[in-house]
Amino acid sequence: MSQIQPIKVNKKITRKLSIATGLLSFVAFIVQGLGSTYGFEPVANQITQTFLLFNGAIGIFFLGDTTRKEIEEKNDEKTK
């Protein structure tokens, strides 16, 4: 059985993706709230769902990055 090897990226990209997830969530919240207020609820739902889909995809990346960090920590503990 083969193991999945997560992509290793530098901290700068990880920080940018972290900021992006926060902004996407915030904008999705604002669009969803204003959609019903200003009468574009169907479009607001589409935009919100799209933003949350991208947010979920970035979240999957962080899951892989966290898994990679845990594997590295376990390997470091074994070598001590």
**Span 4-58, pLDDT tens digits:** 565 667 778 888 888 888 999 999 999 999 999 999 999 999 999 999 999 988 8
The predicted model scores a pTM of 0.69
> 28 exposed, middle or buried (CB, 10 Å; 0-12, 13-18, 19+)?
buried
Which pLDDT band holds residue 67 (cuts at 50, 70, 90)?
confident
User: On the CB side of 8, how many CA atoms lie within 13 Å of its CA?
Assistant: 6
